[in-house]
Amino acid sequence: MATTETEKTKSAAVGQTPRKVADCRLFPSEKQCTLTIAGTEDEVLEVAVQHAITSHGHKNSPELRNQIRAMLKEER
């Protein structure tokens, strides 16, 4: 099956977007959580904050967002 120009363009654009990863295994918790979240920084931050609130009992705050943002790693 041939690849269209639109698919090539979309694929190139996706490859250029830096992806971030949040990995719960890197942080101690009572639950020993193994969740990993990957995507753009904004996507990962939003999902990781919700996960921290619902699964780990954290309160939604600017401090929580800053802590999570600081823990994000570049996807390899």
Listed by start position, the domains of the chain span 18-74
Name the band, by pLDDT with cuts 50, 70 and 90, for residue 31.
confident
- The pLDDT of residue 27 is 81
Name the band, by pLDDT with cuts 50, 70 and 90, for residue 2.
low
Total-model pTM? 0.74
What's the one-letter identity of residue 2?
Answer: A
Question: Any idea which residue has 């802590």 for tokens?
Answer: 67
- The pLDDT of residue 55 is 94
- The pLDDT of residue 11 is 47
Residue 22 has pLDDT above 60, yes or no: yes
Count, residues in the chain: 76
